[in-house]
Structure 1
Amino acid sequence: MAYQDLVVVVTGAAQGIGYGVAKAFADQGARLVMGDLNEEQGAAAAAAIRNEGGQAVFIPCDVRKEDDIKQLMKSAEEEYGRIDVLINNAGVSRWKSPFDLSVDEWDDILNTNVRSCFLATREAALYMKKHGGTGAVINMASTRALMSEPDTEAYAASKGAIVALTHAMAVSLGSDGIRVNCISPGWIETQNYESLQKTDHEQHPAGRVGKPDDIARACLYLADPDNTFVTGTHLVVDGGMTRKMIYEP
């Protein structure tokens, strides 16, 4: 298999999209290093993968802290000997009026969502270069980089910045054989899919709301070692929702 024994680091891996992505790689034979701020959930998530025959370790990591990110990458090398794939999935959101959003809240969202992508990519790239000079980085952006609802300024700004950071680092790291791409998920239901309404699904040209598996399959494509010609790409995975024009009657 293309992913057999690849070492994959996933941030924000304790639940939701991050866990779905980690499990998909583990199912394909990859070795997982799962980072998350929530130690209890993170440890349980890694244990669940191991219980199904996968290889996974959990490392506590607050991606707002440079030292935590450095330790995450160091632990990956200590555990498995190298890093092949990094998936920058950790992020936070906060819907708040621009008149009420504090500077500290703005900084927290930008630092968690964007600065962490830069720092984690930089640190992982050092190990990728050390062990052969190839690797793949996948940043998790959002369709909110392209469209917005009210009171989402900091989140939208962070996701737009991730798209720009992706192509910048793809150019900077290309000569080292490291590919950098990003995915913008649309509506991905991570809780109770069965509770969704018919109208929720009908908003999408694909006819349904997305699931974490949809993002996991996109990550598998971008991480495939054979896809050496795919870098600097922004892949929108939203069931076509951002392409559907909606007019009020």
Structure 2
Amino acid sequence: MHRLASKVAIVFGAGPNIGGTIAHFLAREGASVVVSDIHMEAAEETVAFIRGKGFVAHPVQGNATVEADVRRIVAVALETYGRVDVAVNMAGRVHWSHLLDMDMDDWNEAVLSFPTAGLLTTRYTAQAMIDAGHGGSIIHLLSTAAHFGEAGGTAYTSSKAALLSFARSAAMDLAHHGIRVNTVTPCAMEHQLWTLMRGEVSDPDWQRPDNMAFYSRDDYLKMLPLQRFPRASDLAWATVFLASDEAEIITGIDIPVDAGLRHKYPTWTPGAHTGVNIRDFAEKTYVTRYGEPQEKLVPGSFPEGVRRDPSTQEK
């Protein structure tokens, strides 16, 4: 519970799924956490949860793709807690489209957003660390899209791949300052079963769309060697490790939090042999907020108030 004692962290993106869970786990390990989000109510909700657990957090509104906002968020962290040791960034916009139908405004927004947020959050948190004369840890959340091609996802894959390469180069630029830059890559997340993919797991009459680029959650689950989707808490634990002194010699790496998906042989389908299926999986799944189980996810019945986490665009 004290792996991050005396450290100050900024989390860019604060909803109750990924960003809020990471903020909660950082605070639980002893960090004072500045929680930022494009929506102030999301930041305040996350901070209220963290403070309710007896930990230290402060909310601030801002857009991580806007330079003035990032400078202000870092200034608030310095004013409130006196230093910055850790930054976690997951900000960006997603647009899905076949490349032949891609709208150029959507393309420009999507392709620029993730690496722009990466540049700004890294630049201004690193400068605060350098000015204070100490090192630190900067962590960017990616997606399997950074590593693979995906039909309908040219803008998203381009943006996430750019952020991956940016983080590697940033790690080299900042190494002599003792600042580490690393990334964490999830695949499709468990919470998306009750946010983005409700019909497939809850509607007994659900039918696969007639779309050659479509893959179901059942298809996805069958591809995972560990036979479950990553949870927000899995990403939070990887982030805590990279933020801690346990990882003080680690920089420029990517940690795949994907149940073994990236490293399996592409044509092997583990679930074809084990019999795992999405409905049985969903019946054993609990809705979580900030990394804590709330209630069991029962196909056909979703809890009131459960909504998509606007602060994360991870797949």
TM over 0.5: yes
Residue pair 1:138, 1:182 contacting (<8 A) in 2 also: yes
**Does residue 118 of structure 1 match 2:119?**
yes
Q: How does 1:141-220 map to 2 (within 5 A)?
A: 141-192=142-193, 201-220=221-240
Structure 1 portions without partners, runs of 5+: none
- Cα deviation, 1:190-246, whole Å, max 9, x if unaligned, reads 255697677654431012111001111111111112322100111111001123323
**Does residue 226 of structure 1 match 2:227?**
no
- Cα deviation, 1:26-62, whole Å, max 9, x if unaligned, reads 1111111111112222211111111111111111111
More deviation, 182-191/192-201: 192-201
Structure 2 CA distance for partners of 1:235 and 1:84, relative to 1, 3 Å: same
Q: Write the letter of the residue equivalent to 2:105.
A: D
Partner of 1:134: 135
Structure 2 portions without partners, runs of 5+: 202-216, 273-315
Residue pair 1:46, 1:56 contacting (<8 A) in 2 also: yes
Q: Secondary structure at the match of 1:114?
A: helix
Q: Write the letter of the residue equivalent to 1:71.
A: R
Mapped to 2, the partners of 1:198 and 1:145 lie a distance apart of: 22
Q: How does 1:25-36 map to 2 (within 5 A)?
A: 25-36=26-37
Q: Secondary structure at the match of 1:236?
A: strand
- Cα deviation, 1:71-112, whole Å, max 9, x if unaligned, reads 010111001000000001122222112222222212211332
Q: TM-score, normalised by structure 2?
A: 0.74
Residue pair 1:13, 1:89 contacting (<8 A) in 2 also: no
Mapped to 2, the partners of 1:190 and 1:91 lie a distance apart of: 19
Structure 2 CA distance for partners of 1:246 and 1:217, relative to 1, 3 Å: same
**Does residue 246 of structure 1 match 2:246?**
no
Mapped to 1, the partners of 2:65 and 2:29 lie a distance apart of: 30
Q: Write the letter of the residue equivalent to 1:204.
A: L
Residue pair 1:12, 1:91 contacting (<8 A) in 2 also: no
- Cα deviation, 1:154-204, whole Å, max 9, x if unaligned, reads 110111111111110111001111000111111222255697677654431
Residue pair 1:89, 1:139 contacting (<8 A) in 2 also: yes
Identity value in percent: 30
Q: Secondary structure at the match of 2:36?
A: strand
Structure of larger gyration radius: 2
Q: TM-score, normalised by structure 1?
A: 0.93
Q: Secondary structure at the match of 2:107?
A: helix
